[in-house]
Amino acid sequence: MNEADSEEMLLHLFGFGYQKTEVLSEADLVLINTCTIRDHAEHRALSYLGRLAKWKAEKQGRKIIFAGCAAERLGKKVQKRFPQADIVCGAKSLDKFPEILERSSLFKPVNTTENPKENTKKITGQVSIMRGCSCKCAYCIVPYVRGEASSIPPEIVLENCRNKAQNYPEIMLLGQTVNAYNYKGFTFSKLLAEVCKIPEVKRVRFLSPHPVFIKEDFYKVVQDNPKIARHLHLPLQSGSTKVLKDMKRLYTAEEYLQIIKNLKRLDFLISTDIIVGYPTETEEDFKRTLNLVKKCGFSFAYCFKFSPRAGTPAAEIPEISQEIVENRLNILLNEIRECSAVAYKSRIGKTEEILFETKNSGRTSGNLWYRTTTPKAIGSIEQILIKDSNGKILR
Ligand code: SF4
């Protein structure tokens, strides 16, 4: 979501004569788009903002925009503590970003007919389809900083997809709970089917689905549309039904496993997010998570130590000792590495559809990496027989 938001903000900045650079000394403006999902992310953003005071003082006219979720959470406190920030634009105000720039006397719109050069790899075009989240997971700050879920009208989404498809073979639909999309009865599955009808779109992905919104019509639309990638990043968070209940995740471990079984029948590979050391997680609960991980056979997982976010119910519960959490995390990471190697090796002997992102490498529909010594056209799709894998890449 943040990458997509950054891209949108950049497009608006292009209208004020800016071009993108990754080199700080060349820059006249730094845009910091922040995350607040974990304490660590917020600290890093703030410490970067702190260090930029020196950069700003070195040349007159340099500007700083501090945007996104940490900006939303901290609000005016940021400008008070870091006067070098010229504009603070919270996540809920990103829709009004162009007006905020116009209102500020710091920026003057320019008339430009030239499109600034894009540095992207031109493989995946990201399209936001909804904003915010109406789930209230007990540990999560997102609903507080992004607001309630609201879906973008399908005609706007499809127009954006058509535009992106001119440059990108793969479309990634984005939303905090992307499959909760519903615009006046126009469901996520209907939207997926419509995106697949765009001739230039070769592959469709989406992030992040919530298990509770996976319904029968989703399986049906997948079967009817081979363009939908056979990979789902489906956050699990815990394999213990008791902890899931404490987290207010709205599904049980058994229900999650059933979804995985349904998806595997359709040849899906599944990756996930897992939180280790949730304050109510016992050793028994953690073992349940390990067991479920083994049963699900994830191709990949982001595993996080629980990070209390002030203002959320979970932050009120005393934390588990860090030593225990660290230990559990290491055990889980080892398990995930093994699962991932198994997922790679399970594809040997199968024909995979590879979308090439470089001349020599690309991703399968199931989101595994493939490498070849025979150069291919970037952005092309080919059916390739997998001969080997070292557990980290297909060949
Ligand atoms: S569904 Fe995701 S974004 Fe929404 S509250 Fe839960 S963890 Fe946060």
Short-list 195, 27, 16, CA closest to 102: 16
Q: Provide the pLDDT for residue 377.
A: 94
108 lies in a domain? no
Q: What is the pLDDT of residues 55-110, one digit of tens each?
A: 999 999 999 999 999 999 998 899 899 999 999 999 999 889 989 998 888 888 77
Residues 272 and 379 in one domain: no
The answer, yes or no, to whether any atom of ligand 1 lies below 6 A from the CB of 133, is yes
Residues 131 and 151 in one domain: yes
18 vs 25, 57, 89, 113, 171, CA distance in Å?
15, 20, 18, 13, 26
Residues 81 and 132 in one domain: no
142 lies in a domain? yes
Kindly report the number of other CB atoms within 10 A of residue 283's CB atom.
8
Domain coverage including residue 168: 124-345
Using the 3D structure, point to which of 44, 73, 103 is the last residue of a domain.
103
Q: Provide the pLDDT for residue 119.
A: 44
DSSP H or E run through 34: strand 29-34
Secondary structure class of 198 (helix, strand, coil): coil
Residues 255 and 129 in one domain: yes
390 lies in a domain? no
Residue 92: which CATH number? 3.40.50.12160
Q: Provide the pLDDT for residue 111.
A: 67
Residues 42 and 136 in one domain: no
Residues 218 and 330 in one domain: yes
Residue 388 burial (10 A CB sphere; 0-12, 13-18, 19+): exposed
Domain count, the chain: 3
Residues 241 and 379 in one domain: no
Residues 93 and 142 in one domain: no
Q: What is the pLDDT of residues 311-367, one digit of tens each?
A: 999 999 999 999 999 999 999 999 999 999 999 999 999 999 999 999 999 999 999
Q: Provide the pLDDT for residue 95.
A: 85
298 lies in a domain? yes
Does this model's pTM top 0.85? My answer is: yes
111 lies in a domain? no
Residues 322 and 358 in one domain: no
Short-list 186, 139, 137, 177, CA closest to 158: 186
Secondary structure class of 90 (helix, strand, coil): strand
141 CA from centroid of ligand 1 (Å): 8
Residues 95 and 166 in one domain: no
110 lies in a domain? no
268 lies in a domain? yes
Cα dihedral 367, 216, 249, 157, rounded to 10, equals 60
Q: What is the pLDDT of residues 3-40, one digit of tens each?
A: 889 988 998 999 888 999 989 999 999 999 999 988 99
The answer, yes or no, to whether any atom of ligand 1 lies below 6 A from the CB of 191, is no
Residues 79 and 172 in one domain: no
From 210, 246, 248, 256, the mutation candidate for ligand 1 (largest count of ligand atoms within 8 A of CB) is 210
Residue 325: which CATH number? 3.80.30.20
How is the beta sheet containing 203-207 ordered, strand by strand?
124-128, 170-174, 203-207
Atom of ligand 1 nearest to the CA of 136: 5
| Token pair for 212 | 């509770």
251 CA from centroid of ligand 1 (Å): 13
Residues 193 and 49 in one domain: no
Q: What is the pLDDT of residues 178-220, one digit of tens each?
A: 999 999 999 999 999 999 999 999 999 999 999 999 999 999 9
113 lies in a domain? no
From 73, 136, 140, 207, the mutation candidate for ligand 1 (largest count of ligand atoms within 8 A of CB) is 140
